[in-house]
Structure 1
Amino acid sequence: MSQSAKSTRTTQTSDVPETAAGGRAAAQRLKMRRELATAAMELFATKGYEATTVDEIAAAAGVARRTFFRHFRSKEEAIFPDHDDTLVRAEAVLNAAPPHEHPLDTVCRGIKEVMRMYAGSPAVSVARYRLTREVPTLREAEIASVARYERLFTRYLLGHFDEHEHQVGNDDPLLAEVAASAVVTAHNHVLRRWLRADGQGDVEAQLDHAFAIVRKTFGAGIGAGRTQVAGGPEQNGAGAAVSTRSEGEVLVAVARTDAPLHEVMRAIEQALKK
């Protein structure tokens, strides 16, 4: 066997254990975080949040105090063990989005990762919801977690539109930020309704319905301004996804082959209204 072949084989076989070990370590970390969260919720429910100490949570989970602080910075964080990992998964959805997918649709798919986190353990999610309603500190921690998702989705949407190019007729940056808030609000509304129903019902179908309303309300507006700026290059077809012009009683529409159908139809509808 040649030296290069030996080297290749050595590299290939050494990569596998490292990857497997990394996966096992991540799984063990999440398992421990969930065990600590379960212990914390049980103690909060029986002793009360204020009366429960970190030492008691660690003892109930069968670990040392220092182990607790390797996973959580405070006891209120302990009842949200999955948010960090879910945020990573949601961001991965955004990063892997197909190039022609409407960014609002991508965001809706991304936030579904959050709903799946809750729906994966209905009993735990319902218990946590009740607890956060009773303890203001936990409620504040939950709000902070939601804000992280909203910032992620807002950055993603704004990344498709240059905020510094805002001009008359182009409200994309404003719509992007409002739409991100609307997606998060729709998600939270459906989630709260599902939790108040003790985790019963097809929550994903309810979420799809809510997202359809958001897309209908905000999605049609994002991108529309780029075909409407008077005297801009879009009306001359330069760089625009869709451009329209009237020639007497004839409407001429020019669209890139990769332009989404909804943008083509919207541009035509708006031109006909003039």
Structure 2
Amino acid sequence: MQYVRGMSRSAKPSRTPAASSDAPESAPGGRAAAQRLKMRRELAAAAMELFATKGYEATTVDEIAAAAGVARRTFFRHFRSKEEAIFPDHDDTLIRAEAVLDAAPAHEHPLDTVCRGIKEVMKMYAARPEISVSRYKLTREVPTLREAEIASVARYERLFTRYLLGHFDEHAHDDDANDDPLLAEVAASAVVTAHNHVLRRWLRAGGQGDVESQLDHAFSIVRKTFGTGMGAGRDTPPHTAPVPAVSVDGEVLVTVARVDAPLHQVMRTIEQALKERH
């Protein structure tokens, strides 16, 4: 899997990244963004409490709004349904993850960039461990909420798949160029799966433990599995893997090549050396 700099990225929606709860209120739109997130979290807290005490099916949107001290129409300005109400931060986190991809340094390997992007999701959960653990327990009990959570995860996978596909070297797979979308999707899925594995383990432990080091370990496994042959970074233009060195001593041909050099390139060099010899 070869990645390069300069390939077209996925089309970016014309939107301004939403400010997190830490956004300065003096920044343009910062106050409004902070108030928006505050209200979403208050509605989420009210929904979670009602779901836990009254049950998901028995709880209505009107009750959630009343518990949060707002009108029904205010609820629907922030969420489309009651199951969305317990995931107040995913929209903003998705935007922050996309911002990580957009601002990636040129030397960084695209797979490493995606790993940094998904860390925004972990930061979201780790910022409020008690709520995250309660939400995890609730989603295990209510299939509808579990489905909503799965839909949120799919949004991250699509974002990362588009990003990785946008950095493929289109000339690196002469015979299997149609496999690029599959390779990008599998790699993106592996990053998200590694993240979710660590996240679930952390939530089951009550939000305790060094989750960042666990994440780094999981990502190192993904990098070893899917990073071979991708190239060192996006500064590397197509076909810059060092050409295998070939020397001929009598009837013995010796070739030296990098382990990530494409096999077809190594074979082509050997074949050319043999032709020249004869």
Per the normalisation by structure 2, the TM-score is 0.77
The reply to whether residue 199 of structure 1 matches residue 224 of structure 2 is no
Q: Once the two structures are aligned, what percentage of the paired residues are identical? A: 81
CA RMSD of aligned residues (A): 2.8
1:162 and 1:173 in contact (8 A); partners too: no
SS in 2 for 1:44: helix
The reply to whether residue 186 of structure 1 matches residue 194 of structure 2 is yes
Deviations along 1:155-183, whole A, 9 cap, x unmatched?
Answer: 00000126798433766544322111100
Identify unmatched segments of 5+ residues in structure 1: 1-17, 225-237, 254-263
Aligned residue identity for 2:37: L
SS in 1 for 2:104: coil
1:172 and 1:221 in contact (8 A); partners too: no
Q: Specify whether residues 163 and 70 from structure 1 end up closer, same or farther in structure 2 by C-alpha distance, changes over 3 A only.
A: farther
Aligned residue identity for 1:244: V
The reply to whether residue 240 of structure 1 matches residue 239 of structure 2 is yes
The aligned counterpart of 2:21 is none
C-alpha distance in 2, partners of 1:242/1:135?
A: 51
> What is the number of equivalent residue pairs in this alignment?
234
Q: Which of 41, 47, 61 is the aligned partner of 2:48?
A: 41
Aligned residue identity for 1:203: V
C-alpha distance in 1, partners of 2:28/2:157?
A: 33
**How far did residue 93 of structure 1 move?**
0.2
- Runs of at least 4 residues of structure 1 off by over 4 A? 162-166, 169-173, 249-253, 268-272
C-alpha distance in 2, partners of 1:180/1:223?
A: 17
The reply to whether residue 131 of structure 1 matches residue 131 of structure 2 is no
Q: Which of 211, 216, 224 is the aligned partner of 2:224?
A: 216
Q: Specify whether residues 163 and 58 from structure 1 end up closer, same or farther in structure 2 by C-alpha distance, changes over 3 A only.
A: farther
**How far did residue 239 of structure 1 move?**
4.4
The aligned counterpart of 1:232 is none
Structure with greater proportional helix content: 1
Using CA pairs below 8 Å that are at least 6 residues apart, which structure has the higher relative contact order?
Answer: 2
Give matches, 1:1-274, under 5 Å. 20-161=27-168, 166-168=173-175, 173-223=181-231, 239-245=238-244, 246-248=246-248, 251=255, 266-267=260-261
1:161 and 1:172 in contact (8 A); partners too: yes
Deviations along 1:188-210, whole A, 9 cap, x unmatched?
Answer: 10000100111010111100000
Q: Specify whether residues 182 and 62 from structure 1 end up closer, same or farther in structure 2 by C-alpha distance, changes over 3 A only.
A: same
Per the normalisation by structure 1, the TM-score is 0.78
C-alpha distance in 2, partners of 1:187/1:239?
A: 30
